[in-house]
Chain A
Amino acid sequence: MIHSKMSSSDKLKLPEIRFLTPEEDQHLTDLAEDVAEKMLGPDWKERQEQRRAALSEESVQQ
């Protein structure tokens, strides 16, 4: 690891980074489910789970 002494004025301005809040996380879930329901149909989740189970079985057999 490279460490160096650097004066504050010489340092880069750090980008603002934060973590998602639980509310934002839920917002993403709601958006994705709303989009999926509209574009893939109301039973998309059920069909997806069936596909996932089939995938899972396939990977076990391999």
Chain B
Amino acid sequence: MPRLSVYRLPWRDFPDVVIQTTVHKLRSRPAYEQAKRGAGQAAFEVLQELIKPEKIPFVFDTVVPVMQFDRDKPNALPIVYAAAIAKHFEAYLETVVRQVNVVSHTFADAQTRILGQPMFMGKIQPGSRVVIVDDVVTYGSTLANLRGWLEKQGANVVGATTLAAGFGGTKLALPDIVRDRLLDRFPRQAEALANELGFSAECFTNREARFLAGLKSEHEMQRLIVAAQELTLLQERQQSLGRTNEIDPPSRA
């Protein structure tokens, strides 16, 4: 099995994420907060009358949810959504693959999302045709890294679906025009930052690249690169020590 790291692939013609509702409607559901804090029954209540699995147009045999902790609780929504899809399409529900670091993207700003890259572990059957599932897609980092992890093992990720999406979040694939704008603005720093995060610049998501291309100066990119270097060192140190408790980053204002 590949070592613990971030894996990504270029996007090629990866389809847009299929969503079921709006973020506002999702978060308005009475049981939403409980579902985000690990209550399976609450997640089931949130999804009732909200999802139509038949909206998913992909041909697949396996469903892989983003199984993750958000701060101190597991998020039940992707698991219940994935189970509903598996049931509807009579597909295999994979429950072994999971996010092994806790980066808490919910309500996080763009820099935190880009620096805090999710890592995954757990085997997938090579040759599986997979749909990946999350509750909300915003910058797409989580889905990008889950896709990379599964494809690294020989699976074929044919699409992604979430309950809802932040503005522009459904388009994961990096359009040429956005990639060119990013590389024109920051020809050296864009690739350097991607490398620090564990991939190449062509693997940024559409939203990540748009955010980075909009930074005001090379200095802002440089700050991100330095922070990414420090985070890599912290995570490597924790892995080498075999610790599973919290990394305490240096406190800064």
A interface residues, Cβ below 8 angstroms from B: 1-4, 6, 8-22, 24-25, 27-29, 31-36, 38-40, 44, 48, 51-52, 55-56, 58-59, 62
Question: Restricting to B121-162, which residues have a CB under 8 Å from any CB of A?
Answer: 125-128
Tell which of B17-25, B91-99, B170-178, B203-211 binds the partner. B91-99
* A36 and B93 contacting across the interface, CB-CB below 8 Å: yes
Query: Which DSSP category, helix, strand, loop or mixed, fits chain A's interface?
Result: helix
Query: Which DSSP category, helix, strand, loop or mixed, fits chain B's interface?
Result: mixed
Q: How far is the CA of A62 from the CA of B156 in the complex (A)?
A: 15
* A27 and B252 contacting across the interface, CB-CB below 8 Å: no
B interface residues, Cβ below 8 angstroms from A: 38, 40, 43-44, 61-62, 65, 67-69, 74, 76, 79-80, 83-84, 86-87, 92-93, 95, 98-104, 108, 111-112, 115-116, 125-128, 188-189, 192, 195-196, 222-227, 229-231, 234-235, 238-239, 243-253
Can you report 15 residue pairs joining A to B where beta carbons are below 8 Å apart?
Answer: A11-B230, A14-B234, A15-B108, A22-B244, A25-B98, A27-B74, A28-B68, A31-B38, A31-B79, A35-B80, A38-B44, A39-B83, A40-B86, A51-B61, A59-B126
CB-defined contacts of A33 to chain B, threshold 8 Å: 95
* B116 and A11 contacting across the interface, CB-CB below 8 Å: no
Nearest CB in chain B to that of A59: its residue: B127
* A1 and B195 contacting across the interface, CB-CB below 8 Å: yes
CB-defined contacts of A40 to chain B, threshold 8 Å: 83, 86-87, 93
Q: Known interface pairs A11-B226, A17-B247, A27-B38. Does A48 touch B127 (Cβ–Cβ under 8 Å)?
A: no
Q: Known interface pairs A9-B253, A17-B235. Does A56 touch B84 (Cβ–Cβ under 8 Å)?
A: no
Q: How far is the CA of A59 from the CA of B124 in the complex (A)?
A: 13
CB-defined contacts of B196 to chain A, threshold 8 Å: 1
Nearest CB in chain A to that of B252: its residue: A13
Q: How far is the CA of A35 from the CA of B245 in the complex (A)?
A: 27
* A39 and B80 contacting across the interface, CB-CB below 8 Å: yes
* B223 and A20 contacting across the interface, CB-CB below 8 Å: no
CB-defined contacts of A59 to chain B, threshold 8 Å: 125-127
CB-defined contacts of A34 to chain B, threshold 8 Å: 40
CB-defined contacts of A51 to chain B, threshold 8 Å: 61, 92
* A56 and B125 contacting across the interface, CB-CB below 8 Å: yes
* B222 and A2 contacting across the interface, CB-CB below 8 Å: yes
* A55 and B125 contacting across the interface, CB-CB below 8 Å: yes
* A8 and B252 contacting across the interface, CB-CB below 8 Å: yes
